[in-house]
Amino acid sequence: MGDSANVPGVFFADFGPAPPEITPEGYHEVELNKTKWILPQWYNNLRPLGEGAYGVVCTAEYEPTGDRVAIKKFFRPFQSTIHAKRTYRELKLLRTLQHDNVLEMIDVFTPDPEASSLNNVYFVSILTGSDLQNILKIQTLTDEQIQLLIYQVLRGLKYIHSAGIIHRDLKPSNIAVNERCEVKILDFGLARAQDTEMTGYVATRWYRAPEIMLNWMHYTQTDIDQLQRIMSVVGTPKEDFWSKIQSEEARNYIKNRPPIARQNFAALFPTANPVAVELLEMMLVLDPDRRISVSSALRHDYLKEYSVPTDEPVATEAVTTDRAEEQATTIDDWRELIWNEVRLFQTSARRLSFVSCTDNDEEPMKI
């Protein structure tokens, strides 16, 4: 069960065999890649799409419109309170956040009849095409494409941050890109309300923000290797930053190492657009207080071709932790919360609001 098995206050369910999945009226059962799917009858023609640590995803046809959608089935969301909390957070945020560059949830359902027996949770989103990780494996992006992609990621982050949310696992595989070069930020299972203390081990380790790693460093070989790689590019932090490092081990490690000079980014990326290099230098700063903000990055000259300040919406209110969420301690508590979240979305105006995109007059950029 990994690190979470040793976390105080984390409860694990004694599952034994997987609970039986009952096919209720109006649902049908499909076997796909050794996974049993129990879905409403209007989702058909399933095809496998992907699999991760916390769920498996397929595509399906939504019969009333003929559109294909993506359906995620959570892997044993009640294996532990940590898994249950992650599932709840993702559903809550996807229900609450509404932005062009954030994944849109259009349905959520369970075949289980009541909260006490809840074990199977599915959510449906628009089909987003590929992700940036796969795209980068098969093609080299033009400078124009990079500008457009970065602008949309920052535009989405501006909205997410305005809602008081930190994503905590932003990486190429969590950035969906369709053939029109439109971006959607995915996977909010590790996201949480902004806090001064952010757990270091939760995010994919190669993409952890350096300040998170420095504040939770436990002097493992992995931590040391990551810190060396970071400093080999951005240099040793200045002394005024040392006091901001909460981990004494990390602080002592930096103090006792020979100073490393920050690399010349123009020499490091000799073929890149110099304006892009300038923005990158402003982003890759160890001290977050000196790092360029999302709002300032959106106004940088590198993105001016696509910058539309009047079309960068922010959240009308922050997403907060409610009292029931704060008091949830057991798996059954989280079952009740997730059950309520499913029911809340099913009665909302957003449910199945998906409609096919129509062609714009302007020719879209292809990727």
- Break the chain into its structural domains and give their ranges: 2-128+317-346, 130-311
pLDDT at site 128: 83
Q: Alpha-carbon distance 192 to 52, whole Å?
A: 20
Backbone angles phi, psi at 242, to 5 degrees: -60, -40
Query: DSSP string spanning 302-347?
Result: GGTTT--GGG----SS-----HHHHH--SHHHHHHHHHHHHHHHHT
The three-state secondary structure class of 38 is: strand
**Are 75 and 126 within 8 A, CB to CB?**
no
CATH of domain 2-128+317-346: 3.30.200.20
Q: Can you say whether residue 58 is alpha, beta or left, with left for phi > 0 and alpha for psi between -120 and 50 degrees?
A: beta
Q: Can you say whether residue 259 is alpha, beta or left, with left for phi > 0 and alpha for psi between -120 and 50 degrees?
A: beta
How far is Cα of residue 34 from the mean position of the Cα atoms in its chain?
Answer: 26
pLDDT at site 51: 81
Q: Rounding to the nearest 10 degrees, give the CA dihedral for residues 68, 83, 205, 128.
A: 10
The tens place of each residue's pLDDT in the chain, 367 residues long, gives: 444 444 555 555 544 445 556 788 999 999 998 889 999 999 999 999 888 767 899 999 999 889 899 999 998 899 999 899 989 988 998 888 999 999 988 999 999 999 999 999 999 998 888 899 999 999 999 999 999 999 999 999 999 999 999 887 889 989 999 988 999 998 887 777 775 444 444 445 555 566 666 665 555 666 677 778 888 899 988 888 877 777 777 788 888 888 899 999 999 999 999 999 999 999 998 888 889 999 999 999 999 999 999 999 999 988 888 888 889 999 999 999 999 999 999 887 766 554 333 234 444 444 5
Strand 175-177, strand 183-185: pairing: antiparallel
Q: Alpha-carbon distance 245 to 215, whole Å?
A: 6
Q: Alpha-carbon distance 309 to 306, whole Å?
A: 10
For residue 193, give every residue at least 6 positions away whose Cβ sits within 8 Å of its Cβ, in sequence order, or none: 164, 165, 166, 318, 319, 320, 321
Tokens linked to 107 = 């349905």
pLDDT at site 14: 46
Number of Cβ within 10 Å of residue 34's Cβ equals 6
123's enclosing H/E stretch is strand 122-126
Known catalytic residues? 187
pLDDT at site 357: 36
Q: Alpha-carbon distance 345 to 91, whole Å?
A: 9
Q: Alpha-carbon distance 39 to 27, whole Å?
A: 5
Task: List C-alpha distances in Å: 98 to 71, 162, 354.
Answer: 19, 12, 13
Q: Can you say whether residue 127 is alpha, beta or left, with left for phi > 0 and alpha for psi between -120 and 50 degrees?
A: beta
Any binding-site annotation on 72? no
User: What is the CATH T-level fold of the domain 130-311, as seen in this structure?
Assistant: Transferase(Phosphotransferase); domain 1 (1.10.510)
Task: Give, as one character, the DSSP assignment of residue 215.
Answer: H
Query: DSSP string spanning 246-302?
Result: --HHHHHHHHTSPP-PPP-HHHHSTTS-HHHHHHHHHHS-SSTTTSPPHHHHHTSGG
